Amino acid sequence: MAESSEKLYPNCNSSVWLRSCDVEVTEPLHGKITGKMPTWLRGSLLRNGPGSLKVGSMRFEHLFDSSALVHRFSILDGAVTYQCRFVRTNTFKRNRAANRIVVTEFGTKAVPDPCHTIFDRVASIFKPAELSDNTMISLYPFGDEIYSFTEGPFIHRIDPKTLDTLERKDMMKCVAVVNHTSHPHVMPNGEYGVLLRD
């Protein structure tokens, strides 16, 4: 994977994208400042994206399958701090509990549970496929709340200071959609428009 991406993007170090976060930074980590940061500059930047490409000894096959990781860069009084936390999705919790990939993602097929019986396999024919709720694509504010998004019907509310996962919402229960975009559009009046797909 790394070799083929280097051929397509010769000036891009693919190891940056293919690294895997193993440890969260829950307490703000103070950055080393070179030069001087203006004291009037203050605020926080929240980012969401690929976090961990590994579960136990298994590795995801695609960057988009990586466990969602939220980053927080905070600037205050000439100092900068950093934090990162995994979004506690159902997919993340199930994979971690099993110590292997148990939910199929965009480019990675789940490994079936070796303990399942023939009756479980037959019963699974009558249950719809489970969708991943790995919201690793974007973050958007709704009022004073921050949500992580993916190209699926689930969003997660994130605490903007601690980065704790506070709540999971299934958009299929509020809007008659099966899927929505992970990039909603903010209208000039502050309302949000979500591009819906058939």
| Residue range 76-105, pLDDT digits in tens | 998 999 999 999 999 999 999 999 999 999
Residue 186 lies in a domain: no
- Give the rounded percent of residues in the chain with a pLDDT score beyond 70: 77
Residue 4 lies in a domain: no
The pLDDT, as a whole number, for residue 19 is 78
Which of 171, 173, 190, 174 shows the shortest CA–CA distance to 182? 171
Least confident of 39-43, 56-60, 91-95, 139-143: 139-143
Take residue 163 and report the two structure tokens written for it.
């980065």
Residue 158 lies in a domain: yes
Give the residue ranges of the annotated binding site: 183
Give the residue ranges of the annotated binding site for Fe cation: 183
Q: What is the pLDDT of residues 17-27, one digit of tens each?
A: 677 888 999 99
29 compared with 39, residue with greater pLDDT:
29
Residue 74 lies in a domain: yes
Residue 148 lies in a domain: yes
Residue 51 lies in a domain: yes
* 197 has a pLDDT exceeding 50: no
Quick one: pLDDT band at residue 15, thresholds 50, 70, 90? confident
* DSSP output for 116-131: --HHHHHHHTTSPPPP
Take residue 109 and report the two structure tokens written for it.
């097929």
Residue 1 lies in a domain: no
Domain hosting residue 124, numbered range: 20-170
Number of domains in the chain: 1
Report which secondary-structure segment, H or E, holds 169: strand 165-170
8 A C-beta contact, residue 77 and residue 39: yes
Angstrom distance (rounded) from CA 14 to CA 137? 19
pTM: 0.80
Residue 132 lies in a domain: yes
